[in-house]
Amino acid sequence: MKKMMLLILALGSLLVPALVAAENRTYTEAVSVKVENDDEGAMASAKSRAIELALRHYLNDVYKDRASTLNLTGDHSFVQDLDVLESKVSGLISKILTAKINVTIDENEVRSYLKRQGAVTGKNDDRRIFVILIPGKMDSGDAPVILDILRAEIRKRLTAAEYTVIDSEDHVKRLESLTEEADYSKLVGKLDGLGEWVVLGKVDVEVHQDGSTRAYHAMMTGKALSISSRDLLWEDNIDGSVRVKASESPMYALRLAAIDGGKKFASAVLGSLNDKMLTQERRGARFEVRFTSGGDYKLERRILKVLKDDIKGLKDVNQKNRGKGDMVVDLVYVGKSGDLVDLLLDNFEKDAQLAKFSPEVEGNKVAFKLK
């Protein structure tokens, strides 16, 4: 019996480290960043870049089928350990820091985060929100760090409210030119079907001296738009600020101002989204439903009659066109697009002609095509 117990204990001592080791993965990332102000700031940027790359590699390894729809960016809370293996600064006028960095991912933290969002199972696809921040009036050397801090604060608070945040560098670069041009119609068009909301912020930095103190401001002109309806949900100017002694490090003070600005910005965005959600629960959301009627006037009349008279729960049913190609109908419904499709299908099955239609859903747009 004693031998058996010793054997079990011995096996346990071997298995426990193996189980612990299985909870994290280490990636070695080679990164290069431009030295804007000092080596310390460049190293901080290099570490953030290494974390972002390691998290992307982790998602590609573990969640292959959904990696393109998931986003962790460079959040330090997902990192178990970070070790700079080697680094060097080269160049005279334009300095470049290159580094090789080991990043160990905390898999438990990542899984908990994705579970909270419903991202792995896809439950929260209707709460996907794009966050795009661009630099306005600010020193080019400070811009990357300030934007990263703002982005992290906004992401943290939106994620806590169970939104799936998409703010990766690739998305920002692809869309920031449209943001700068204030061409919101084109911008939202690029995101149609990929998420439900987009938040835009243009960041300005100002410093004011007042005797022995300085006031640092990270100010943002912000907007929140619905991707499906193009509605402007919120628009405001946010001022993240901090007052410190004039002798205090400017970079340290700007970080504090950025944290304050990110908190205020996220709170304002959440307030507008929550108001919109409550309004939708009371009044319903507007949907566009398209039918491939081929301009058949009698068929369109039949569809319109069913939508207006026979189906309970639909409001403000209006046909946009008549007898011209596809039939397009605007309507208001209290519920999600999937619930609306189920309601329409249940009623269409009672009619031999309408039962031939099959649905396709893209955000708040539903298309019924003939089978």
- Is 255 found in the same domain as 295? no
In the predicted model, what is the mean pLDDT of the chain?
A: 77
Q: Cα(172)–Cα(364) distance, rounded to whole angstroms? A: 24
* 343: CATH: 3.30.1360
Residues 136-162: tens digit of each pLDDT: 887 656 778 888 889 888 888 887 777
- Is 129 found in the same domain as 84? no
Who contacts 229 (Cβ-Cβ below 8 Å, separation ≥6)?
285, 286, 364
Task: Say if residue 285's pLDDT is above 60.
Answer: yes
**Which of 283, 303, 321 is the endpoint of a domain?**
283
pLDDT of residue 158: 84
- Is 346 found in the same domain as 225? no
Is 300 part of any domain? yes
Residues 292-347: tens digit of each pLDDT: 888 888 888 888 888 888 888 788 888 877 666 788 888 888 777 778 888 888 88
Q: Cα(343)–Cα(139) distance, rounded to whole angstroms? A: 54
348 CB-side CA count, 13 A: 21
Based on the structure, what is the number of domains in the chain? 3
How far is C-alpha 216 from the chain's CA centre? 28
User: How long a stretch of residues is the chain?
Assistant: 371
- Is 271 found in the same domain as 288? no
- Is 360 found in the same domain as 309? yes
Domain that residue 351 falls in: 284-370
- Is 348 found in the same domain as 222? no
Is 180 part of any domain? yes
Is 65 part of any domain? yes
- Is 275 found in the same domain as 128? yes
The mean per-residue pLDDT over the stretch 94-109 comes to 88
- Is 330 found in the same domain as 235? no
Task: Say if residue 240's pLDDT is above 90.
Answer: yes
* 94: CATH: 3.10.28.20
- Is 353 found in the same domain as 293? yes
What stretches of the chain adopt beta strand conformation (E)? 24-34, 79-90, 96-106, 128-135, 164-166, 197-210, 213-226, 232-245, 285-291, 314-319, 327-333, 357-362, 365-370
- Is 264 found in the same domain as 162? yes
- Is 138 found in the same domain as 114? no
Q: Among 370, 329, 365, 363, which Cα is nearest to 348's?
A: 370
DSSP assigned state of 58: H
- Is 210 found in the same domain as 68? no
Regarding pTM above 0.75, the answer is no
**239 DSSP β-pair partners:** 219
Is 4 part of any domain? no
pLDDT of residue 239: 94
**Which of 235, 255, 283 is the endpoint of a domain?**
283
How far is C-alpha 131 from the chain's CA centre? 6
pLDDT of residue 10: 45
Is 8 part of any domain? no
Task: Say if residue 282's pLDDT is above 50.
Answer: no
